[in-house]
Amino acid sequence: MGKVKKYRAKVEVRLKSGYLDPEGESAKKALIDLKYPVGRVSTAKVYEIEFAASGLRKAWMVVEEMCKKLLANPVKDDYSFEVEEIR
Amino acid sequence: MVKICVIRVGGTNCDEETKRALDELGAVCEVIHFKKIVKGKKKLSSYDALIIPGGFSFGDHVRAGAILGKEMKYVLSKELKRFVEEGRPILGICNGFQVLVEADLLPGFGGGIPQAALAINDSARFECRWVYLRVESGGKCIFTRGLKKGEVVSMPVAHAEGKFVFPKGKEEEYLKKLVGGDQLVFRYCNDRGEPARRKYPENPNGSFYDIAGICDPTGMIFGMMPHPERAAFGIQLHNWTEMEDIPEYGDGMSIFRSLMEYLGCGG
């Protein structure tokens, strides 16, 4: 068991492709009005989570669990995250 | 005496309308804050049925219904498991349906991960209006036993995230399971009872197979997007002022009446 350290996770949750993203669509239309020739625009939610864990591997596992248990519904959401130690 | 618990949290709505409809049928209905149950100040076991009303529980933060659903699943798991095992019915209306899906109680195929979701409406709008529903249940769902299969009823919807979806690639398999198990309860339809076939406006959200309400494999847990408590009394009907004979009750009352009859207090 390692010493308990502080970590910060940055979790990004986005809709799987094929699901309607009205905010992304609105942003796309507005960007086109502003003369940017953009293609697909999608939005995502970002959670920054500070927590303690006994090591990076453990911290990573905890975040994975947070995503599965609450932050994403696997039917319609994809998620990705990074974890860093807070020094 | 039938005791029914209507759960509320910040953002809940129509809890009082639900209570009013059940009071009319002689139930002792209490609106209880979820935290009171979590903290043990109120016991789920002292109620005969549980209702999760509509609204925007916990502000719909994270996802519609997610926070209450996951707290029910992980924090209240023991009490809820016992409640269900003892055959006590649970109804989720609108946001309550989203909660039951997030809590993995619906469709209840097992496996421990969500098997469905209620996604953003295809119209990208909050749809707040009356719709037609066709009864698909053959009798398993205890909340629609007062209705006949094929019957058309009307109730209002009020949601931005009501598009029922199964995981991509699993649609046909899960639909077969749902229909085969008599778990499909309501489909959106037109006034003649013909399925909406995902066409707007009859299908207000783009739901797969026009699904508006489903129950679990036991028929005791039922979730629906439309609001029966907003269609419980004649004077709640959208056209009641034009009517010569205003009916005493609206179609929504049949959901609560079926529950009461199941609990042995019909009539």
Which pLDDT tens digit goes with each residue over B171-220? 999 999 999 999 999 999 999 999 999 999 999 999 999 999 999 999 99
Q: Is A20 touching B (CB cutoff 8 A)?
A: yes
Share of chain B above pLDDT 70, in %: 100
Which structural domains are found in chain B, ordered by start? Answer: 3-262 (3.40.50.880)
pLDDT tier at B152, thresholds 50, 70, 90: very high
pLDDT tier at B265, thresholds 50, 70, 90: confident
Q: Is residue B66 predicted with pLDDT exceeding 90?
A: yes
Q: Which of B69, B46, B44 is nearest to B58 (CA)?
A: B69
Q: Is residue B163 predicted with pLDDT exceeding 70?
A: yes
Interface of chain B against chain A, CB under 8 Å?
Answer: 62-63, 66-67, 70, 74, 102, 113-117, 119-122, 124, 165-168
Termini Cα distance of chain A: 19
Which residues, listed in sequence order, are joined to residue B44 by a DSSP beta bridge?
Answer: none
Confidence (pLDDT) at A3:
85
ipTM of the complex: 0.92
Mean pLDDT to the nearest integer, B115-139? 97
Q: What is the least distance, in Å, from the CA of A68 to any CA of chain B?
A: 8
The residue type at A66:
M
CATH architecture of A5-85: 2-Layer Sandwich (3.30)
pLDDT tier at B266, thresholds 50, 70, 90: confident
To 5 degrees, how large is the angle CA B75–CA B91–CA B174? 85
Sign of CA dihedral B74, B180, B215, B66: positive
Q: Is residue B267 predicted with pLDDT exceeding 70?
A: no
Confidence (pLDDT) at B247:
96
Residue ranges covered by each domain of chain A:
5-85
Strands B127-135 and B184-189: antiparallel
A34-53: string of b/e by CB count within 10 Å (b at 16+)? eeeeeeebeeebebeeeeeb
Q: How many residues in total does chain A contain?
A: 87
Which pLDDT tens digit goes with each residue over A14-72? 999 999 999 999 999 999 999 999 999 999 999 999 999 999 999 999 999 999 999 99
Confidence (pLDDT) at B7:
97
Q: Which two tokens stand for residue B186?
A: 């309501």
Choose among B74, B116, B168: nearest Cβ to A18: B168
Nearest CA in chain B to A75: B167
Catalytic residues of B: 94, 227, 229
pTM of the model: 0.96
The residue type at B152:
V
Sign of CA dihedral B11, B16, B73, B226: negative
Contact B63, B103 (CB under 8 A): no
Q: State how far the Cα of B121 lies from the Cα of B228, in Å rounded to an integer.
A: 20
B159-186: string of b/e by CB count within 10 Å (b at 16+)? bbbbbbbbbeeeeeebeebbeebbbbbb
Three-class DSSP category at B8: strand
To 5 degrees, how large is the angle CA B207–CA B151–CA B23? 90
B46-57: string of b/e by CB count within 10 Å (b at 16+)? ebbbbbbbbbbb
Contact B129, B200 (CB under 8 A): no
Q: State how far the Cα of A22 lies from the Cα of B119, in Å rounded to an integer.
A: 12
Contact A11, A63 (CB under 8 A): yes
Q: Is residue B168 predicted with pLDDT exceeding 60?
A: yes
